[in-house]
Structure 1
Amino acid sequence: MSEKEMTIKKKLLADIDWNCAIPSLVIVALIALPAILFEEQTSTFVNNFFNTFVEATSAFYIVIPVFLIGIGLWMAFSKYGKVVLGDPKERPAISNFTYIATLMAMCYGATIMRTGTIQWAYIAEDPPFGIEPYTNAAILAGSAYSIFLWGLQLAAIYVITAPAVAYFVHVRGQNNVKISQLCRSLLGDKFADGILGKMVDIIFVIALVLGAATTIGLASPVLSAVFGELFHLEPGFGLDFIMTVSMIVIFTTSAFLGIEKGIERLSDLNIYLMIGLVVLIMIFGPGLFILNFSVESLGQYLDNLLLFSFYSDSLNFGGTGYTESYTVFWWAYCFTWGIIQGIFCALISKGRTVKEVILYYFGTIFLIVVPLSCILGGMAVYSQLTGAVDVFAALEAGAGPAIAKVLSVQKLAPVIMVVFFLLALTFCATTMDSTTYTLAAFASKADIAKSAPSKSSRLFWAILMSVSALAMMKVGGLGPLEVVSGIAGVPIIVITFLVIFAGIKMMKQDKAWVTHVRPDDWDAEKAPRAEHVEDRLI
């Protein structure tokens, strides 16, 4: 480590690039302030704007994720797929199990617990394809759509920039992960070092902070509803505050410890908790129904994959249906997270090939995410069909209370609720500590190829995102912020394609498919393990 970096590490918050951080935070405050001071007016304006936004951009948002699937599969199975993202003689820095667990926690987190359990009901209330609402056909379509939300398109959005970032850091040994610097090979020094490059970096930080604050704010009510149902406590901001603080303590501690000692261990814990929850539901719950329903839902998903992928409800001149508007919002919202997912995935992918990174990401979908969504959704559907819970009526109080009601009527309900709560808590905490770590790396002046971002900078960004979320929850301003963070996906899409093409150009310049591949006699068992930058942290 250089003397300059040693000095940076010793000074509190000295490694933060304030030229990028301060303008970003000022703009975030200017965006959030109206929602705090004028919640009703802001909500009305933003929602009206979003309806117009959906009508104008639906075709764009529907096509782009499908296009990214094609790019991802092409990269995996083309000559670029064998390029090693690190030293070709080394094996990956982390084990396959921990790699999958970390990807799962970072990319899907507590949101899968929320949408997996209850999203089918929102669709069944306003189903696509002319299906009658509240019918069994509508419920099945809703379950298939829930799978679609966590399917191939989402995986492509999240993983598509990872190979470029990983090549930039682990092969070329560049000292930061700023978008402006990633695009230097594509757009030149004038862009990377000029005002346009700085604007791109600022947009990225804005989108991330808004998205992170929104995610915390959406997860906390679910946690507080389940906790309140379990201990018979009244819901409200006080309970939301306690849940949020608990989450903050976990993810700031984990982010403070770093990737190997914090994030990876918490991710492993998530997998064990998830297995425990699945076993409890399948054995003591309606396991046979869930199995049959899951198979049928998966069949509906596969049968309707093209219909869901290109559904724009274009013949409905009377307005925008739920499925169309939510699909547009979901992809827009996910794009705000896409590059941060790619950056974090790149940081933990040292020693893997481009093909491995992409296929592991896609594989995680069908090995973990889809089954979990089907099991949670099947449990809730069974409660609706048997009359144990009127899920549609419960939704009037919000997703959190509806989920809590469903869990409360299961056999061994207290045990299932405790495991569900702990899993949702650690899932969300892992998502946020991964985000904190990545944001600290992005906004760092230190050499990320050689050392991790300082603990003080990680703590700074963790506190900032948490305070933002709590402030918005206090005034009920998350609705507008959620929509704004989704709309922020528009410039992020442009940035996404810049990063993709920059990565391809770097590999072309280096002829990486020739110069940076595994030796013919490479043996994974004998190869030394790639070193984490975390190992050099002081």
Structure 2
Amino acid sequence: MPIEPSDEESSNASQPKAQAPDAGTGTPHPPLVRDRFGGTQRRHERQIDDDAPVSRSDLSKGPQELLEHRTAHINWGVLLISSIVILAFSIWAIRVPNEARTTMKMAVDWIASSLGWYYVLTMTLVTGFVLWVAFSKEGDVRLGPDHSRPQYKLGTWVAMLFAAGVGIDMLFYSVTGPVAQYLYPPSGEGGTSAAMRDAVVWTMFHYGIAGWSVYALLGMAMGYFAYRWGMPLSIRAALYPLLGKRVRGPLGDGISIIALVGTVFGVATSMGIGVVLLSVGFSLLFGLEQGLTLQIALVIGAVVLTIAATTSGVDRGIRWISELNLWSAVAMMIYILVTGQTAFLLNALAENIGRFIVTLPERTMQTFAYEPGGAEWMGGWTLFFWAFWLAWGPFVGVFLARISRGRTLREFVIAAITAPVLCDFIIVSLFGNSALYHVLQGNTMFAELAIQSPERGWYALLEMFPGAMFLIALATLSGLLFYLTSANSGAMVMSNFSASIPDPSHDGPKWLRIFWAMLTAVLTVAMLFAGGVTTMEYATLIFALPVTIIAYLTMASFYKVLRMERAEREGQVLRKPSMAATGGHVPERSWKQRLEQLRAFPTLRQATQFLERTVRPALDDVAAEFRNQGYKVERSAMLNANGIEEPLLQVLMDTFRAFHYQVAIVEAPVPMYGGRMTRETDVYYRLEVFTQTGSGGYDLMGLTKQQVIDDVLERYEAHLAFLTFSTETATASVLTPSVLPKDQQSAVPKDAGDIQNLGETKK
């Protein structure tokens, strides 16, 4: 962090005193420097500890401060510590399974009786926060620059949302959940009409809005910092405004380890439940003997398929499986609806959704504190599911962010808590009410089987439909795709958590994805040895507890940044129109320049030449004039992936957010007309202007030097308007603190009039 000069008493310092320039930047460091209006101001010297949380630094420094290397590399500390924790737990569970199960049961009982309220409060606050984001003015902010647009079509995107965020566990609990809540409800008598009305709704609640809100929170936070600010796609980047440079050190590593271990246990639980369920299906289809041997064989086979699919990346393997997964689930639901009790199922679905909506506020904060055995029920159902969603949150959040570049925050949140949730409701309601229909007919043997052995109960329900073997085959295929999609996404995201990857569009190396797929399989087998599904539930509830801390930190960090976004936008609205030469963000061009731009598709060499001959000299001249007028200016360059230095101009403003003007070379596809490319190559290169919130979306190619200078001044005026608004409205954020020392309050820009002088000087 820069060290500011000390405050000196000077009553007659109406003009800045000449000082020797700084050796590194050539920037003068007078004790009394010119302020934003041609006057003078005092400045304070303040040593800021690099390890302290950042409270007044700019988010644009994030990419440089978060990345020690410009290329992807393995974070060996996170990888080794996480692996040791998981392996140690696996060995313990395999060697002394009874002791492991008993110890975890004691921990879960304590959590359920002592911390149930904490889980409930956390999920309530997360749900409220993401809804506030969606319906606030900042809901229009995109996961990327303002000009970015979605990569995937809506249908494909929704399919990937659904497939990544829902595991095979939903099929597992879609039968046993409603039957258990009907016969053994958390309150009141079992087997009554009141218990029947709530039986399916409880399972819908557990797979409803609360869990998807966790995904939406972590997904939009990580996507925002990655695509709008150029930071890595990671949890630690989302916490940068709170922790500053410390996210790159041991504290950041600790956060990554918590997220990674929670993710592994969440995925392993889903895999364990999946193989327990699928083993019954494979036994029925191929006559194999059920048991631990078949389950382990399925784990090994699934790992092989996961490795094959995950190494193909998002655009091929995971995308293909996601779409196939959705269609297979749709086919299964249609078959059950048509061949089952159609009228009853549709009536029940409508009533279930209506009752879910009406009772949602009550259920959200319900802890059954006044019910005998309420803590035990909460630990086995609601708290387990809340822990399960939290454990899955970091990895599903990364995956959702990965496929959602260009979406607005409002679009992202609303889609995440509606489309896949509605799919969940349909699946749970059709399966659950089909099971309850047979229970109401007096099939007590089926009811007992569904509770005592949920995997066998699920397939027992399928055997009651016409064409049972076809439905069993279709359901097993759907379950297998659910399982593979979760395993694929998990392996990819685990590799990202244990590596530092500058480019959000890239993933961890293939060998690392293979490693995590295998280690997750080892943990799955260990929990199968230690007691199966029950032990998996215990482990999830325990290891998801630290993840709640990440949820709270993410909300605090994202809230501050959204306040900054509001100040930025309002500042642009309040900007004086008379001072804008073009009235907007795009530099004004002559009609000949506009016509030439329509047919020009520059090569990388041409873009580089224009950068050197026109843009860089223009920025040098502006920087020199800024310095002549007493501003603190930094002229530097950012090295891009092609080894080209992209010029950067910054005007530093003490405690306020610095003005940032960077010109970057951006590759873009050549437009197609009539189905044909306009030239031999399919890409061309633009010179786009980047501020601290991403690209302005326009191209400097073809402008004159004077037009580039005018654009710099336009942007600087807009920046001053932003600072004025953010200070006047006391918008608290890490970038624009609302409380300043009295001797610094005079530095708040009130007008941009002095910038006209700067522009006139250059003209």
TM-score w.r.t. the length of structure 1 is 0.88
Root-mean-square deviation (CA, aligned residues, Å) is: 2.8
Alignment-derived partner of residue 238 in structure 2: 182
8 Å CA contact retained: 2:269, 2:533: yes
For residues 126-141 of structure 1, what are the structure 2 equivalents within 5 Å?
Answer: 126-130=184-188, 132-141=189-198
Alignment-derived partner of residue 456 in structure 1: 511
1:67 corresponds, among 125, 133, 136, to: 125
| C-alpha distance in 1 between matches for 2:166 and 2:354 | 22
1:414 has 2:469 as partner = yes
1:217 has 2:260 as partner = no
1:479 has 2:525 as partner = no
Alignment-derived partner of residue 322 in structure 2: 267
For residues 350-499 of structure 1, what are the structure 2 equivalents within 5 Å?
Answer: 350-387=405-442, 390-395=445-450, 397-449=452-504, 451-476=506-531, 479-499=534-554
For residues 39-58 of structure 1, what are the structure 2 equivalents within 5 Å?
Answer: 39-58=97-116
Alignment-derived partner of residue 154 in structure 1: 211
| C-alpha distance in 1 between matches for 2:328 and 2:572 | 39
8 Å CA contact retained: 1:180, 1:197: yes
| C-alpha distance in 2 between matches for 1:530 and 1:149 | 44
Q: How far off its partner does 1:293 sit?
A: 1.9
| C-alpha distance in 2 between matches for 1:136 and 1:471 | 41
1:301 has 2:356 as partner = yes
8 Å CA contact retained: 1:147, 1:370: yes
Q: How far off its partner does 1:366 sit?
A: 4.4
Give deviations 1:453-478, integer Å, cap 9, x for gaps: 22222222112212321243245365
Give the number of the structure with larger relative contact order, counting CA–CA contacts within 8 Å between residues 6 or more apart. 1
Secondary structure of the residue aligned to 2:354 is: helix
Alignment-derived partner of residue 114 in structure 1: 172
Alignment-derived partner of residue 163 in structure 1: 220
Residue 89 of structure 2 aligns with an amino acid whose one-letter code is I
| C-alpha distance in 1 between matches for 2:123 and 2:309 | 32
Q: How far off its partner does 1:7 sit?
A: 8.3
Q: How far off its partner does 1:41 sit?
A: 2.0
For residues 302-321 of structure 1, what are the structure 2 equivalents within 5 Å?
Answer: 302-316=357-371, 320-321=375-376
Secondary structure of the residue aligned to 1:451 is: coil
Secondary structure of the residue aligned to 2:504 is: coil
Secondary structure of the residue aligned to 2:74 is: coil
Residue 89 of structure 1 aligns with an amino acid whose one-letter code is H
1:33 has 2:91 as partner = yes
| C-alpha distance in 1 between matches for 2:505 and 2:341 | 51
8 Å CA contact retained: 1:117, 1:380: yes
1:229 corresponds, among 272, 276, 284, to: 284
Residue 172 of structure 1 aligns with an amino acid whose one-letter code is W
Q: How far off its partner does 1:396 sit?
A: 5.4
Higher mean C-alpha deviation, range 139-148 or range 315-324:
315-324
Q: How far off its partner does 1:137 sit?
A: 3.2
8 Å CA contact retained: 2:234, 2:398: no
| C-alpha distance in 1 between matches for 2:409 and 2:207 | 22
After superposition, the Cα gap between the structure-2 partners of 1:389 and 1:227, relative to the gap in structure 1 and judged at 3 Å, is farther
| C-alpha distance in 2 between matches for 1:516 and 1:386 | 66
Secondary structure of the residue aligned to 1:320 is: helix
| C-alpha distance in 1 between matches for 2:570 and 2:315 | 32
Alignment-derived partner of residue 199 in structure 2: 142
8 Å CA contact retained: 1:257, 1:455: no
Residue 345 of structure 2 aligns with an amino acid whose one-letter code is I
8 Å CA contact retained: 1:507, 1:513: no
| C-alpha distance in 2 between matches for 1:193 and 1:16 | 13
8 Å CA contact retained: 1:20, 1:198: yes
| C-alpha distance in 2 between matches for 1:234 and 1:384 | 28
Secondary structure of the residue aligned to 1:146 is: helix
| C-alpha distance in 2 between matches for 1:71 and 1:443 | 28
Higher mean C-alpha deviation, range 142-151 or range 318-327:
318-327
8 Å CA contact retained: 2:109, 2:376: no
1:502 has 2:560 as partner = no
Residue 28 of structure 1 aligns with an amino acid whose one-letter code is I
Secondary structure of the residue aligned to 2:179 is: helix
Higher mean C-alpha deviation, range 281-290 or range 93-102:
281-290
Q: How far off its partner does 1:203 sit?
A: 1.5
Aligned residues: 512
8 Å CA contact retained: 1:286, 1:379: yes
1:337 has 2:392 as partner = yes
After superposition, the Cα gap between the structure-2 partners of 1:236 and 1:513, relative to the gap in structure 1 and judged at 3 Å, is farther
For residues 272-283 of structure 1, what are the structure 2 equivalents within 5 Å?
Answer: 272-283=327-338
8 Å CA contact retained: 2:325, 2:482: yes
8 Å CA contact retained: 1:102, 1:264: yes
| C-alpha distance in 2 between matches for 1:156 and 1:179 | 16
Residue 69 of structure 1 aligns with an amino acid whose one-letter code is T
Q: How far off its partner does 1:16 sit?
A: 2.9
Residue 134 of structure 2 aligns with an amino acid whose one-letter code is A
| C-alpha distance in 1 between matches for 2:151 and 2:543 | 33
8 Å CA contact retained: 2:108, 2:379: no
Instruction: Return the structure number with greater helix share.
Output: 1
Q: How far off its partner does 1:447 sit?
A: 2.2
Give deviations 1:371-411, integer Å, cap 9, x for gaps: 12111112222232234673322135511111111111111
After superposition, the Cα gap between the structure-2 partners of 1:173 and 1:118, relative to the gap in structure 1 and judged at 3 Å, is same
Higher mean C-alpha deviation, range 239-248 or range 35-44:
239-248
2:155 corresponds, among 97, 102, 108, to: 97
Alignment-derived partner of residue 525 in structure 1: none
Alignment-derived partner of residue 687 in structure 2: none
Identity %: 25
| C-alpha distance in 2 between matches for 1:215 and 1:237 | 16
Secondary structure of the residue aligned to 1:405 is: helix
Gaps of at least 5 residues in structure 2 are 1-67, 574-583, 587-665, 670-763
Give deviations 1:22-47, integer Å, cap 9, x for gaps: 01111122233322222212212221
Higher mean C-alpha deviation, range 64-73 or range 401-410:
64-73
Alignment-derived partner of residue 534 in structure 1: none
Q: How far off its partner does 1:426 sit?
A: 0.2
| C-alpha distance in 1 between matches for 2:211 and 2:668 | 29
Alignment-derived partner of residue 343 in structure 2: 288
Give deviations 1:486-536, integer Å, cap 9, x for gaps: 22222211111212322333444465656999x999xxxxxx9999xxxxx
8 Å CA contact retained: 1:270, 1:427: yes
For residues 236-255 of structure 1, what are the structure 2 equivalents within 5 Å?
Answer: 236-255=291-310
| C-alpha distance in 1 between matches for 2:454 and 2:532 | 17
| C-alpha distance in 1 between matches for 2:470 and 2:532 | 34
Q: How far off its partner does 1:162 sit?
A: 1.5
After superposition, the Cα gap between the structure-2 partners of 1:318 and 1:162, relative to the gap in structure 1 and judged at 3 Å, is closer
Residue 208 of structure 2 aligns with an amino acid whose one-letter code is G
2:311 corresponds, among 256, 264, 279, to: 256
Give deviations 1:240-281, integer Å, cap 9, x for gaps: 123323432332222111101111111110111111111111
8 Å CA contact retained: 2:133, 2:139: yes
2:77 corresponds, among 19, 23, 41, to: 19
8 Å CA contact retained: 1:177, 1:343: yes
Q: How far off its partner does 1:323 sit?
A: 4.5
